[in-house]
């Protein structure tokens, strides 16, 4: 499932390595150095290190995985990642988290829960990203050190926040009883919205169905922050979600409200036409 490389960790004092090795060295922390060697499953490779007396060697397992999920509500550069310890290693403790992009370090901090981290990338929101960001979570458990990594472009994790102010107005028209649903861009979204535009997906589902339902009464996309619903049914649920229009990035959570259905979730708020 995952590419396995063998690493050697040295807990101990500052060590001195022969020059040829230094390219494969990564200083994790003051007293932890990781030395990358070829896959040596089952065999031993002598390494010239002078360290003083006290050091221990432990294997490190490097894993690429899908357990780390990163997201951010805009392009400003700060993002967060979370992982489920159960899926990774419940008994392991987070030793360190690290981030980098193209050799430059991206500062990250782990939350006290040990299952989330916050990072801050100095990103220019208007610039096309050239390099991926890579984050690594180092876990230690007994004698093992495991490193989980995830690499991505910021644009691939920018997820619009929930859409505020969802309400409807009635079209004042004898020929129909259409409802025009309106909402706003998320507060957290990058401004100006003329440049950072969103695409909205709207869905009308029957009362009792959820927004994830495949059984929709209407489904459509729009760039406007309003949509006219012309269905005969009096009771239905109106759902809307957003994605970055230009990158086609991740969809936001659904926002929804429920028409004429007192016990069917958040009622749709009616406002007067301006
Ligand atoms: C609109 O609603 C009114 C009152 O609820 C109803 O009398 C009328 O028939 C409806 N019109 C249409 C076109 O459905
Ligand atoms: C509407 O949103 C609320 C809050 O997120 C959620 O609990 C509920 O399940 C949603 N309703 C539908 C029909 O998806
Ligand atoms: C989709 O929405 C557009 C307006 O945004 C409308 O003109 C079109 O008729 C809709 N299509 C369907 C199938 O409802």
The structure's pTM equals 0.80
| Vertex 89: Cα angle to 83 and 33 (nearest 5) | 90
CA of 257, closest atom in ligand 2: 1
Q: State the pLDDT confidence band at 103, using cuts at 50, 70 and 90.
A: confident
Residues 6+ apart with CB under 8 A from 52: 12, 13
Q: Is the pLDDT of residue 10 over 80?
A: no
At 235 the pLDDT is 93
**Is the Cβ–Cβ distance between 155 and 148 less than 8 Å?**
no
Out of 61-65, 93-97, 211-215, 248-252, pick the least confident.
61-65
Q: For residue 255, how far is its CA from the centre of ligand 2 (angstroms)?
A: 7
CA of 227, closest atom in ligand 3: 5
Q: State the pLDDT confidence band at 204, using cuts at 50, 70 and 90.
A: very high
Read off the pLDDT of residues 23-70 as tens digits, 9 standing for 90 and up: 566 777 766 667 666 555 555 555 555 443 334 566 677 776 668 999
Distance in Å from the first CA to the final CA of the chain? 58
Name the most confidently modeled range: 12-16, 24-28, 180-184: 180-184
Residue 148 Cα distances to 57, 83, 151, 162, angstroms = 20, 10, 10, 30
**What is the pLDDT averaged over residues 202-221?**
95
State whether the beta carbon of 219 lies less than 6 angstroms from ligand 3.
no
Ligand with the closest atom to the CA of 207: 2
At 165 the pLDDT is 96
User: By C-alpha distance, which of 201, 240, 236, 191 is closest to 217?
Assistant: 236
Ligand with the closest atom to the CA of 176: 1
**What is the pLDDT averaged over residues 108-112?**
94
Q: Mean pLDDT, the chain, as a whole number?
A: 82
At 19 the pLDDT is 44
**Is the Cβ–Cβ distance between 22 and 34 less than 8 Å?**
no
User: Which residue among 162, 183, 210 is best mutated to probe the pocket of ligand 2, counting the most ligand atoms within 8 A of its Cβ?
Assistant: 210
At 209 the pLDDT is 92
């Amino acid at each position: 499932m995952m590419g396995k490389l063998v690493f050697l960790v040295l807990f101990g004092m500052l060590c001195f390595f022969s020059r040829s090795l230094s390219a494969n060295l990564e200083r994790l922390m003051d007293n932890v150095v990781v030395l990358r060697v070829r896959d040596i499953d089952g065999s031993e490779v002598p390494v010239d290190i002078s360290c003083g007396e006290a050091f221990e060697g432990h294997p490190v397992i490097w894993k690429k995985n899908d357990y780390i999920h990163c997201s951010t509500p805009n392009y400003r550069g700060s993002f967060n990642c979370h992982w489920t310890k159960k899926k990774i290693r419940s008994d392991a403790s987070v030793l360190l988290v690290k981030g980098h992009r193209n050799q430059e370090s991206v500062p990250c901090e782990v939350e006290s829960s040990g299952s989330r981290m916050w990072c801050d990338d100095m990103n220019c929101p208007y610039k096309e990203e050239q390099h991926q960001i890579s984050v690594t979570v180092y876990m230690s458990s007994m004698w093992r050190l495991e490193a989980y990594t995830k690499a991505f472009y910021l644009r691939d994790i920018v997820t619009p926040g929930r859409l505020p102010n969802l309400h409807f107005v009635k079209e004042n028209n004898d020929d129909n009883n259409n409802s025009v649903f309106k909402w706003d861009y998320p507060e957290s979204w990058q401004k100006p919205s003329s440049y950072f535009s969103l695409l909205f997906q709207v869905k009308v589902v029957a009362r009792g169905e959820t927004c994830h339902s495949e059984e929709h009464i209407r489904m459509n996309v729009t760039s406007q922050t309003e949509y006219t619903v012309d269905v005969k049914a009096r009771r239905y649920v109106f759902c809307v979600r957003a994605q970055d229009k230009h990158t086609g990035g991740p969809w936001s959570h659904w926002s929804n409200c429920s028409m004429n259905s007192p016990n069917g979730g958040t009622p749709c708020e009616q406002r007067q036409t301006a």
